[in-house]
Amino acid sequence: MVAWPATLPQSPYLKVTETRQSATLRSAMDAGPPKVRRRFTAAVRHIDVVMFLTGPQKTTFDTFFNTTISEGAVSFDWTDPISGGTVSMRFREPPAWTQVRAGTVANKLWQAVFALEILP
């Protein structure tokens, strides 16, 4: 299994948002309340992480994302920002980047927003 690069920040998150995939299915009835049943036993958790990366860290991340995990198609192991345990996750979409400090590549500071899914 591929692991999150050790040279990238491991947990200094600026912000973390967690949502869970719905594991239930609702069916409308002719009369009365809808019927609800469990669709599957293991639901995917969605995590949105905001963190800062330096210019060199962004270069490392770009190599990791583009090559190692094939533009986000391959899952990887990283620390769960909620529980602290190691989990398998993958990107739901490519990361969004905002440059927060200008300068040379080495001096730039980037804010990254990662949309991830933690796999059951």
| Residue range 63-95, pLDDT digits in tens | 999 999 999 999 999 999 888 999 999 999 999
Quick check: 42 pLDDT over 90? no
- Among residues 116, 111, 120, which one has the least CA distance to residue 47? 116
> By the 8 A CB rule, do 95 and 65 touch?
yes
| Total domains present in the chain | 1
Phi (first) and psi of residue 67, to 5 degrees: -105, -60
What is the pLDDT averaged over residues 25-50? 87
- The pLDDT of residue 103 is 86
Q: What CATH number has the domain bearing residue 12?
A: 2.40.30
pTM tops 0.85: no
Instruction: Residue 62: give the domain boundaries.
Output: 2-118
Q: From its phi and psi, is residue 60 left (phi > 0), alpha (psi between -120 and 50) or beta?
A: alpha
Which two three-digit tokens encode residue 86? 């190691």
- Among residues 60, 67, 19, which one has the least CA distance to residue 43? 19
User: Which SS3 state, helix, strand or coil, does residue 70 take?
Assistant: helix
Quick check: 24 pLDDT over 80? no
